[in-house]
A = this chain, B = another copy of it.
Amino acid sequence: MEQFAGIKAYLAERAAKVEAALTRCLPAEWQVPSRLREAMAYSLEAGGKRLRPAFVMAAAEAVSGKAEAADAALPIACAIEYVHTYSLIHDDLPAMDNDDFRRGKPTNHKVFGEAMAILAGDSLLTHAFYLIAQAARQGAVSAEAALDMTEELAVLAGARGMVGGQAADMLGEQGITTIEELEYIHLHKTSDLIVFSLKAGARAGGADKRQLDLLETYGRNIGLAFQIQDDILDLIGDEKKLGKKTNSDVTQNKVTYPYLIGIEQSKAQVEMLTQEAKSAILEANLPLPEKLLEIADYLVHRDH
């Protein structure tokens, strides 16, 4: 029996739930140009780990102590996947990372053209806020919680959050020389949305301020560890498992953790961040902390 079989099955089950809901989130009766709808659906359905939605649901469960809290948080889980998907579409554009493939499939602009890819991204981002408002409308979360989530998503996905990280990445190309600059980029490009996911799920589960702060610590560290692990896997990983060409960052002379501090120290860093993340969860004294702890361990040992 494989070590992480349990948590992998848990994540797969969550991913399946989210995937079943994702395209339904854009009402079928809405009059939307069909090519735009197709472009949105194409990237929503392109697979991936669905890690952020899983964090939303796991946090709701952990904080409330009830497994059914995960289902109530599903609209919020979809909202965050809309935001994540938009960010991938825009990041892949020729003017940005200029990627032709993602998860083994042609990128959005390769299939639908640049204009439609930009607009599909814009629509997905916009619709995430609709889904949060709807969650309140349908009674899944309180109006107050929905407003908190709206505000926090706007901060963590915007100029001071994820987009700020991507901008720093673009501006710093070739020019990054310190671990601090690289950390800034990863914290914003990756950790911010993970932090949002955890706090939104926790809010749906009724978390207090102290729990929210500790989940933020967990999310920041997990996000950073995840990104460093990605850098490591990109260098040593198996092409097929990753679904993209390994070593692509090195080919592009992209500055990574292994490049700056070496493979061994990068691995030690991932281990340390994971421990700090788990400590925060233990300190939060949640009724159902297990899944969040297991996800942390799984992510650091994953091979793709």
**A interface residue numbers (CB < 8 A to B):** 26, 30-33, 35-37, 40, 90, 93, 95-96, 113-116, 118-119, 121-123, 125-130, 132-134, 136-137, 143-144, 146-148, 150-151, 153-155, 157-160, 163-164, 166-168, 170-171
Smallest CB-CB separation from A31: which chain B residue? B160
Structural contact, B130 and A115, CB atoms closer than 8 A? no
Copies of this protein in the assembly total 2
Residue numbers in B under 8 Å from A30 (CB-CB): 159-160
Complex Cα gap A35–B163 (Å): 12
Q: How far is the CB of A110 from chain B (nearest CB, A)?
A: 13
Structural contact, B114 and A159, CB atoms closer than 8 A? no
Complex Cα gap A144–B142 (Å): 10
Residue numbers in B under 8 Å from A128 (CB-CB): 154
* CB contact under 8 A between A150 and B151, given known A118-B96, A160-B30, A170-B116: no
Partner of A129 from B123, B144, B153, B167 at Cβ < 8 Å: B153
Of the A-B pairs whose beta carbons lie under 8 Å apart in the complex, a sample of 22, sorted by A's number, is A26-B159, A33-B167, A33-B168, A36-B164, A36-B171, A93-B115, A115-B170, A116-B167, A116-B171, A125-B125, A125-B126, A126-B153, A126-B154, A126-B159, A126-B163, A128-B154, A129-B154, A130-B150, A133-B148, A133-B154, A137-B147, A143-B147
Smallest CB-CB separation from A184: which chain B residue? B31
Residue numbers in B under 8 Å from A31 (CB-CB): 160, 164
| Given contact pairs A130-B151, A133-B147, A136-B147, a sample of 15 additional A-B residue pairs in the complex whose CB atoms are under 8 Å apart | A33-B171, A116-B167, A116-B171, A119-B167, A122-B125, A123-B163, A126-B153, A127-B154, A127-B159, A128-B154, A129-B129, A132-B150, A133-B150, A133-B154, A146-B150
Residue numbers in B under 8 Å from A154 (CB-CB): 126-130, 133
Residue numbers in B under 8 Å from A127 (CB-CB): 154, 158-159
